Amino acid sequence: MDEGHDTRLHIGDLVRAAAPDASRVTVRRAQLGAFGVTTVTGDGRPCAVDGVDEPLERLRELSYRKGKGTWFSCELEFTAGSRGYACRADGEVMPFALVEPAAALGELTTFPRDVPPEWLIAALPTAMPFGLPVPLLDERPWHSPFDERRPAPPITGEVSYAPAAGMTARVAGHEDSEPVPGRRLLWLGERPDDPDAGVVVLTVHEGTYYLARHPAGATDDGLRSLTLDGATLRAELTPQAADRLRTETVFEVRLDLPAESMATVRAAVPGMLGRLTDGPELLGF
């Protein structure tokens, strides 16, 4: 599980819904201690988005590394028609023109640093503000030893996600009840005898379908339709299924196959999915 990745996808869903006509949506978060400001723009125009502050704060928590702190500012960009994103974070530059002493102390209390930036040290109060919560380092409820094992969102730097939009299948195979009784399987691969090559596998067993993409992931729901359009097999997926497969919501498999294998695909897909109660819509077969 990559909670940082999932959180960025969730933020993207929130802001796309708030700006459905925008070709590009940008989210900016600046935060120090408990004080934070979020701005969202769609094609440069401000957008009001509910519920986005909490996942952005969670990203800060996930980015924290012992002794190094977390980011002060973060920018996320989402493009229309894609599940992808670009994220840029900065854990050094002052996020606001004026830094309140309580915010500076709150930052170093919650996200301790071995070597804070000079501007952060200069902003610290000369006396402890009355009533400021000072949690012990081991009392942060959002931090656990398991966080160190997960992929870390950047403190300073960039991370991006570009979902797969398609592949070219040059080999195919079909299994019917072998070696598992009652299981039917169709697989499409980029290259034969290559364990690192991309493979799409469609399986039906005991009334349930499973769609997998090696090496990304698998789903047992969210396949809305399968269309055979000439030499292209097109899958339309829900956003949730696409995220599990690490693809766009429309994923195309270009079928560079001999005639016999094309005939197998054309017959196998409706034979496997056509009788399912909650199966996807089949077009072009």
66 is written with which tokens?
């012992």
Report whether 184 contacts 35 (CB < 8 A).
no
Put residue 51 in one of left, alpha, beta given phi > 0 → left and psi -120 to 50 → alpha.
left
Q: At what angle do helices 3-18 and 53-63 cross, to 10 degrees?
A: 160
Q: What does the pLDDT look like over 245-280, one tens digit per residue?
A: 999 999 999 999 999 999 999 999 999 998 888 889
- C-alpha–C-alpha distance, residues 56 and 182, integer Å: 46
Cβ-based burial of 22 (10 A; exposed 0-12, middle 13-18, buried ≥19): buried
In three-state secondary structure terms, 53 is: helix
Task: Return the domain boundaries, the chain.
Answer: 3-161, 164-283
Report whether 226 contacts 282 (CB < 8 A).
yes
SS (HEC) of 211-278: EEEECCEEECCCEEEEEEECCEEEEEECHHHHHHHCEEEEEEEEECCCHHHHHHHHHHHHHHHCCCCC
Q: Mean pLDDT for the chain?
A: 89
Pairing of strands 164-169, 247-255: parallel
**This prediction's pTM:** 0.85
As a whole number, mean pLDDT of residues 60-77 equals 95
Q: What does the pLDDT look like over 14-56, one tens digit per residue?
A: 999 999 999 999 999 999 999 999 999 999 999 999 999 999 9
Q: What does the pLDDT look like over 69-127, one tens digit per residue?
A: 999 999 999 999 999 999 999 999 999 999 999 999 999 999 999 999 999 999 998 75
Residue 180, pLDDT > 70, answer no
In three-state secondary structure terms, 62 is: helix
